Amino acid sequence: MIRIDAISEHPFPTIDFKFVNRGNASAVLRKIGFEIESIEVDPTPVLSFDCYLDPNRNSLKLVVRNDGWGPAEALNVEMSEPLLDELFSAQQRSGNTRVKPEENAEVLELSINSVAETSIHFLDEITHERQRILALLPDRMRQGNRSILGDTMYEQALCQHEKWHVQEYFEFFARGDDPSGPRQRWHIDYV
């Protein structure tokens, strides 16, 4: 008999087997037993990251979750993205923490209030450029005009997901997909 007390919310390993009767008579399996020679827990931490905006504090927060069996000791985390790199110092974008198993830990908080005055001007410029590019994109996409991709502010002003929509639209456009088709309209509507 195997008795397992509640270990945690983690899934316990599952054993799958197949009983095959190769004889001529009927067979009934009444009992089965397993002898476990040893159990070894893998203490490796399994980390996942989530980033969210805290509108009450005007900040961007990075949270790490440990779904592994062991702690993440002396975890050193650094956020890097072109716009964040421009607005915040390397010291502000990095942090150290310890994350126990099944624990969430806030690793970093980037507050807009801590941005230097010169960076605020850069942020204003990016915001205006973003508005300009987003105003141009739908018509350029419908026309198949890829020149917007060469715009000097395109890379900095749009997020990765927005750039993915634009890139896939132009890839599908180049292979002959109808710009009024559902997927192509979805890309245009997104941007």
For 135-145, write each residue's pLDDT tens digit: 999 999 999 99
Using an 8 Å Cβ cutoff, are 107 and 64 in contact?
yes
Q: What is the pLDDT of residue 2?
A: 47
CA 58, chain centre distance (Å): 21
Q: What is the pLDDT of residue 77?
A: 92
* pLDDT surpassing 90 at residue 186: yes
Q: Do residue 79 and residue 125 come from a single domain?
A: no
| Residue 77 within any structural domain of the chain | yes
* pLDDT surpassing 50 at residue 1: no
* pLDDT surpassing 90 at residue 71: yes
Instruction: Specify the pTM.
Output: 0.57
d(CA 65, CA 48): 5
Query: Which residue type does 171 have?
Result: E
Using an 8 Å Cβ cutoff, are 134 and 155 in contact?
no
| Residue 2 within any structural domain of the chain | no
| Residue 97 within any structural domain of the chain | yes
Q: Do residue 123 and residue 98 come from a single domain?
A: no
Q: Distances in Å between the alpha carbon of 88 and those of 112, 152, 155?
A: 9, 21, 18
Mean pLDDT of the chain: 86
Boundary of a domain, candidates 97, 114, 131: 114
d(CA 101, CA 73): 11
Boundary of a domain, candidates 92, 114, 136: 114
Q: How many helices (H) and strands (E) does the chain have?
A: 5, 5
Q: Do residue 109 and residue 130 come from a single domain?
A: no
> Mind listing the pLDDT tens digit for each residue in 98-118?
999 999 999 999 998 888 777
Q: Which domain does 186 fall in, by range? A: 117-190
How many domains does the chain fold into? 2
> Mind listing the pLDDT tens digit for each residue in 40-65?
788 899 999 999 999 898 899 999 99
Q: What is the DSSP letter of 133?
A: H
d(CA 62, CA 106): 6
Q: What is the pLDDT of residue 81?
A: 83
d(CA 185, CA 3): 57
